Amino acid sequence: MSIKLAMVMSEFNQAITERLLKGALTRLEHYKLPANQIPILRVPGAIEIPYAAQQLLERQNYDAIIALGAVIRGETSHYDSVCQQVSYGCQRLILDYKTPVIFGVLTTENGEQAYARSGGNHSDKGAEAVDAAMAMINMKQRLESV
């Protein structure tokens, strides 16, 4: 069976999001999915992720979309607004298109936390996003046979 994935990656906080992407691409090897066959849409910031994912879903029948980004709290309330909007947008796509949109968007208090979760000493959320996509694809396939 052929699995069709795509990724949307925010370029804001690029040092972190590139680490997330690297973790995701490396994890694809574990599932024997060629990284060069996975489209990657780059968007300016996290808030643009749902729109880009929607455009992908409207053009192709993907098994899952992986959203990668990093929202790091600053001195203003902008952080809260961005986190709410990007999570809501991704959730809405999941329900509207009945396709998993994996939320690999870090929402951290500071850069150290983001670094630790993007392949540092805490975890690799990019790799975990690929694992989540595969788990959801498998779940959806099992439900189709029920």
- Residue 61, helix vs strand vs coil: coil
Instruction: Choose, from 78, 96, 110, 112, the residue flagged as catalytic.
Output: 78
* 33: its two tokens: 């999915």
Alpha-carbon distance of 84 to 80, in angstroms, equals 6
Active site residue 122: no
Q: Could you write out the three-class secondary structure of 67-99?
A: EEEEEECCCCCHHHHHHHHHHHHHHHHHHHHCC
Catalytic residues: 78
